[in-house]
Amino acid sequence: MATGQETEADLEAYDELETRIERIANVGNAAGILRWDQEVIMPEGGTPARAKQLSTLSSLSHELLTDERTGELLETLEDQDLEGEQAAVVREVRRQYDRATSVPQDLVEEISETTSNAHPTWMEAREADDFSIFEPTLEKLVELKREYATHVDSDADPYAVLFAEYEPYLDLETAERVLERLRDELVPLIEAIDESDAEIETDAFAGEFDDDDQEALARDVLDSLGYDWDRGRLDTAPHPFSSGTQFDARVTTRFDESDLLGSITSTIHEFGHANYTLGLPDEGYGTPLGESRDLTVHESQSRLWENHVGRSRAFWEHFLPIARERFPELEAVSPEAAYEAANQVYDDNLIRVEADELTYHLHIVIRFEIERDLIAGDLEVADVPEAWNDKYEAYLGIRPETDADGCLQDIHWSHGSFGYFPTYSLGSVLAAQLYTAAEDDLGDLDERTREGEFADLNQWLREEIHAHGKRYTTPDLVEEATGEGYTADHFLAYAKSKYGELYDLEGY
C-alpha cells in the first residue's frame, strides 16, 4: 500500500477519472436511446437529423475519451498500486484510451463514411443478387480495417486486433482452436443426423398465428422468465435486439404469422441479453463496473436462456399450457412434439439467422475462416463468393445458388465489422459451460424449469456473472464462475448427448 498522503491523491485522481468516464458513459447511453428510437419508433423522415445527432454524440464521446487529461490521470493511477475494482476500472479505461488515441481521426472518419455508404450498396447488391456491386466497397473496407488494425498494434496479427474489438480478453488462438474443434466435431455429428432415420416432429407449430396474440404470448414468455417490467419494455423491430442500461434494458422482437416458434425463441434470446444488462450493479452505472463484459459473455447469456432453457423438454412442459391459452389449436401438440420442433436440425438451410443450434456454428466457422483470410490478404475479395460456396459444400453439404443466399446474406461486413461473428459461437460455447456449472452448484435445473421456477438460475447468473460488470477479464470471469478455464467441452458434450438422443444416433 502507498502512504496515507498518496492515497488521498490517488483518490482525487481516481474520482476525476470516474467523473470523466461517467460523462462518456452518459453520452454513449444517450446515443443508445437514440438508436433504439431509430430502430423501433422513429418516423422514416427523421433519418438525416438522427444521423447528425448520433455523429455529434460519437465525436463528443471520442473527444472526452482521448483528451490528454484522460491519459495523465491513467498514468497517475497506474503509478499507484491500485487493487480490486479500481484497478479493473483503470485497466478497462486504459484499453479504450489506447485504442481511441492510436487511430488517426481522419481514418476513423473515413471508415465511418465508408460504412455509411456501404450499407445501401450492400442492400442494392443483395437485392440485385450481384456481388460485383458490393465488391469495390468490400475491398475498401478490408483495406481500411487492416490499416486501422496496424495503427492499434503494428506488431499484432491485424485480424486478432479486430477480433479484440468485440472480445478483448479471449485471444484469437483460443477462438481459432474452439472454432476448429466445433467444425471438426459438429460436421460428423450433423452428417450422422442427416443420415438418421429418426422421425422428428417438425410440424408442431405449423399454421397461422395472429400477431397480436403472438405479442401477448411474448409478454407471457417474459413474465414467466422474470423480466423486470419496471425497468424494461417489449416492442417490435425488423431485426430484434435488446439495448439499454441496468435501469432500463429493453427487448425487441418480431412476429411472423407463420413462425410462432421463431418469435418465442427470439424473445427468449433477447430476454437473455436484457436480463444480463439488468443484473449489472446499479452503483456501477457509468463505469466499467456497471457495464457488461464483451460480446462473448453477452451472447452466452442470450444463448443460455434460448437454448439450455428455451429448447429443453422441461421448458415446453412448463410453457405449452401457457401457449395454449393464447392459441387453443396447440391443444393437439404434445410437449415432446414441441421439443422436437424446437430442436430439428435442417439439412438444407443456407441462412445463418434461420439455422438450428448445431449447423449455426458451421455458418460462423465459414465466415470466420473467410474474413480471417481476407484481412490476412490470403483471399482476394473477388474470390469471396466461390470460397463461400465451396465451404458451404464442404461443411454443410449444400451449395448456395445465389450470392444473395450466400456471401451477401449478412449485414456485418457492410458495417466494417470483421471479427464480430466468432463471438456468436464463443458465446454459445460459454453458455453450455455456465449452465453446467450452475447445475453443479444448484442441482438439477430441469425440474425447476418444468415448474416455471427460474429465480435460482437467475440468481446464480446475477452473482456469478452479472454483478461483476467488467470487474474481471473474460477468462477470469469464466474461471471465477465455473472453476475452470474457458472450454468447449461442455458445449460438445451437451450437443452430442442431446442430439444423439433426439436423432437416435449410434455412438453418441
Active site residues: 270
Buried b (16+ CB within 10 A) or exposed e, 332-367: ebebebbbbbbbbbbeebbebeebbbbbbbbbbbbb
CB of 456 to its own copies, least distance (A): 23
CB of 123 to its own copies, least distance (A): 20
Q: Locate the DSSP E strands across 118-253.
A: 234-236, 242-245, 248-253
* CB-nearer residue toward its own copies: 22 or 98: 22
Q: Quote the CA–CA distance of 43 and 41 in Å, as a whole number.
A: 6
Q: Residue 212 burial (CB < 10 Å; 0-12/13-18/19+)? A: exposed
Q: What are φ and ψ of residue 346, in 5° steps?
A: -90, 140
Residues 292-351 close enough to bind its own copies by CB under 8 A: none
* CB-nearer residue toward its own copies: 21 or 89: 21
Of the residues 94, 95, 231, 324, which one makes contact with its own copies according to CB under 8 A? 231
* CB-nearer residue toward its own copies: 50 or 399: 50
Strand 242-245 with 248-253, pairing: antiparallel
Of the residues 155, 230, 378, 506, which one makes contact with its own copies according to CB under 8 A? 230
Q: Quote the CA–CA distance of 161 and 92 in Å, as a whole number.
A: 16
Residues 48-67 close enough to bind its own copies by CB under 8 A: 48-50, 52-53, 55-57, 59-60
Spatial CA neighbour of 292 closest among 434, 472, 100, 424: 472
Residues 14-33 close enough to bind its own copies by CB under 8 A: 22-23, 26-27, 29-31, 33
Task: Considering only the stretches 135-143, 223-231, 447-455, 459-467, report the one whose residues sit in contact with its own copies under the rule CB under 8 A.
Answer: 223-231
Task: Considering only the stretches 143-151, 174-182, 227-235, 436-444, report the one whose residues sit in contact with its own copies under the rule CB under 8 A.
Answer: 227-235
* CB-nearer residue toward its own copies: 173 or 282: 282
To the nearest 10°, the Cα dihedral for 361, 367, 372, 376? 160
Residue 47 binds its own copies (CB under 8 A): yes
Binding pattern for the stretch 242-281 against its own copies, x by CB under 8 A and - elsewhere? --xxxxx-x-------------------------------
CB of 23 to its own copies, least distance (A): 5
Residue 78 binds its own copies (CB under 8 A): no
HSE at residue 425, side-chain half, CA atoms within 13 A, is: 30
Spatial CA neighbour of 364 closest among 446, 321, 303, 440: 303
CB of 42 to its own copies, least distance (A): 6
CB of 252 to its own copies, least distance (A): 13
How many CB atoms sit inside 10 A of residue 195's CB?
10
CB 266 within 8 A of CB 239: no
Please report where in the chains the cell 471520442 appears, as a residue: 62
Q: Quote the CA–CA distance of 245 and 27 in Å, as a whole number.
A: 13
Of the residues 285, 395, 413, 491, which one makes contact with its own copies according to CB under 8 A? 285
CB 501 within 8 A of CB 193: no
Taking CA 99 as the corner, what is the angle to CA 97 and CA 101, rounded to the nearest 5 degrees? 65
Residue 44 binds its own copies (CB under 8 A): yes
Of the residues 8, 12, 15, 37, which one makes contact with its own copies according to CB under 8 A? 37
Cα-to-chain-centroid distance, residue 315 = 23
* CB-nearer residue toward its own copies: 60 or 398: 60
Binding residues for its own copies, per CB under 8 A? 22-23, 26-27, 29-31, 33-34, 37, 41-50, 52-53, 55-57, 59-60, 228-233, 244-248, 250, 282, 285-286
